[in-house]
């Protein structure tokens, strides 16, 4: 791979910025200043502007998305989930699926298109677990309805889903639930809960397939996936 592409892929600037930097003598390859952007890099060590640069083809991050940021790669008005990962090397990262702007919780950020495709495939039925606070009382009969496959205004009813009542307060007319979905339709949790008369007031995704938010993580925190997590996701 060319030196300028290597540096550009690793987020060191645009192609023309890094070409310029290389020509000015800011790149050192195997201990020697290299001023030719077209130099082929394979296994050499590269230092740019005094910092060692190693090449990463694929990156995987688990982000605890806070409310108020959009699940997009860029947005003219709003901060995006990618703005929350300052350590990223690649410029081609994207969120795997979406959480609404006001939803918090686990979001996988990667540039592995193949993995994203397989996780989002409707045939794969990757489990997604959500915690929600809702208005109204969630009752055992709702649990049964969800188990059978709730009709919620779409042509096809939802796939059978596991609804757990964590707390239901008749005095305050609010409930807390955990919901496990095996699919990911547009605003699915909010629409399913609204369909039983219990609109969502707070929503957080706890897990997706084998990935779970760490107990120590706070909204806005992120970390690279471990090798074991990547293998489990691909498995
Ligand atoms: N379901 C929703 O309604 N919103 C989300 O952000 C995720 C699932």
Percent of the chain scoring above 70 in pLDDT = 100
The predicted structure's pLDDT at residue 155? 86
162 lines ligand 1 (CB under 6 A): no
189, 203 Cβ separation under 8 angstroms: yes
The pLDDT assigned to 115 comes to 96
Tens of pLDDT, residues 18-35 = 999 999 999 999 999 999
**Which atom of ligand 1 is closest in space to residue 191's alpha carbon?**
3
| Confidence check: pLDDT of 195 > 90 | yes
Tens of pLDDT, residue by residue over 176-186, are 999 999 999 99
φ, ψ (nearest 5 deg) of residue 114: -65, -45
pTM: predicted TM-score of the whole model, two decimal places? 0.89
Helix/strand/coil for 34: coil
Mean pLDDT of 42-63: 95
Averaged pLDDT of the chain: 96
The pLDDT confidence band at residue 66, using thresholds 50, 70 and 90, is very high
Confidence of residue 74 (pLDDT cuts 50, 70, 90): very high
- Whether 15 shows a pLDDT value over 90: the answer reads yes
Residues 6+ apart with CB under 8 A from 169: 137, 175
Residue 101: CB within 6 Å of ligand 1? no
Q: How far apart are CA 101 and CA 89, in angstroms?
A: 25
Say if strands 200-208 and 104-110 run parallel, antiparallel, or are unpaired: parallel
Are residues 142 and 196 in contact, defined by beta-carbon separation less than 8 angstroms? yes
CA dist list (Å): 152 to 74, 93, 186, 194, 197: 31, 33, 12, 8, 11
Determine if ligand 1 sits within 6 Å of the CB of residue 183: no
The predicted model gives 210-234 an average pLDDT of 97
Please give the share of the chain, as a percent, with pLDDT higher than 90. Answer: 93
Q: What is the distance between the alpha carbons of residues 184 and 11, in angstroms, rounded to a whole number?
A: 32
- Choice from 64, 67, 97, 100 to test ligand 1 binding pocket (greatest atom count within 8 A of CB): 100
Task: Find the 187 Cα to ligand 1 centroid distance in Å.
Answer: 4
Residue-wise pLDDT for 88-100, tens only, equals 989 899 999 999 9
Q: How many C-beta atoms lie closer than 10 Å to residue 93's C-beta?
A: 19
Q: What's the pLDDT at 41?
A: 97
- Position 154 scores a pLDDT of 86
Q: What is the pLDDT of residue 122?
A: 83
Query: pLDDT tens, 122-181?
Result: 888 899 999 999 999 999 999 999 999 999 988 899 999 999 999 999 899 999 999 999
Cα three-residue angle 79-83-88, rounded to 5 degrees = 165
Query: Could you list the active site residues?
Result: 100
């Amino acid at each position: 791979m060319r030196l300028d592409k290597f540096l550009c892929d690793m987020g060191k600037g645009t192609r023309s910025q890094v070409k310029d930097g290389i020509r000015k003598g800011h790149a050192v390859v195997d201990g020697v200043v290299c001023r030719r952007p077209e130099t082929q890099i394979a296994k050499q060590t590269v230092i740019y502007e005094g910092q060692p640069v190693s090449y990463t083809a694929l990156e995987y991050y688990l982000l605890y998305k806070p409310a108020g940021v959009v699940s997009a790669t860029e947005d003219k008005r709003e901060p995006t989930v990618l703005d929350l990962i300052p350590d990223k090397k690649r410029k081609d990262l994207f969120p795997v699926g979406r959480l609404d702007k006001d939803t918090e919780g686990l979001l996988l950020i990667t540039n592995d298109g193949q993995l994203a495709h397989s996780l989002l495939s409707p045939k794969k039925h990757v489990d997604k677990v959500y915690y929600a606070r809702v208005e109204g009382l969630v009752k055992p009969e709702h649990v049964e309805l969800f188990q059978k496959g709730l009709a919620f205004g779409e042509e096809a009813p939802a796939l059978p889903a596991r609804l757990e009542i964590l707390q239901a307060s008749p005095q305050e007319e609010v409930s807390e639930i955990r919901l496990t979905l095996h699919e990911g339709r547009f605003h699915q949790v909010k629409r399913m809960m609204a369909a039983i008369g219990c609109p969502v007031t707070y929503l957080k995704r706890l897990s997706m397939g084998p990935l779970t938010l760490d107990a120590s993580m706070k909204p806005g925190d992120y970390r690279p996936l471990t090798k074991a997590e990547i293998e489990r996701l691909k498995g």
